[in-house]
Amino acid sequence: MFEKLYNIVAENMTKAGSKMPFTKGLFVYACNNQSNNNLDLFRTTSFSQEEYIETLYYALLNRLPDANGKKSYLSFADSLNKDDFFKYAYTCIKNSDERKLKNTFSMNNYFEE
């Protein structure tokens, strides 16, 4: 349902000469997770690298990534396999001072044993 809603809005925005400021993956994740101060990693396994970065920022930093931050993380996407990229990005953001100040957390963390 949320995917269809995103597609309708994105199509209308495109017709109006604009575009959605976030990916479909983040939109669906946010609609299904009303609390944005935690990250459920199991819900992100099928995401693209871009969707994953946006969701990490949303869930752990309570904001969308700025263009340079997103570009910086995505620059590693081609040199790492998907699982390694996800772990790298997650670890960097999880260990950031900004995340610690936000007091956010993750669950279903398949990176840690």
pLDDT in tens, the chain (113 residues): 888 988 888 898 889 999 888 888 888 888 777 665 678 888 899 999 999 999 999 999 999 999 999 999 999 988 999 999 999 999 999 999 999 998 888 888 888 75
- pLDDT tens for residues 44-62? 999 999 999 999 999 999 9
* Cα atoms in the 13 Å half-sphere on the side-chain side of 23: 19
Domain annotation covers residue 32: yes
Domain of 57?
23-107
The number of distinct structural domains making up the chain is: 1
> Could you tell me if residue 95 is left (phi over 0), alpha (psi between -120 and 50 degrees) or otherwise beta?
alpha
Domain annotation covers residue 112: no
Domain annotation covers residue 48: yes
Domain annotation covers residue 1: no
- Please tell me the predicted confidence (pLDDT) of residue 94: 93
- Please tell me the predicted confidence (pLDDT) of residue 113: 53
Domain annotation covers residue 17: no
| Residue 37 tokens, joined | 């101060």
- Please tell me the predicted confidence (pLDDT) of residue 80: 94
CA–CA distance, 66 with 64 (Å, rounded to integer): 6
pTM: 0.84
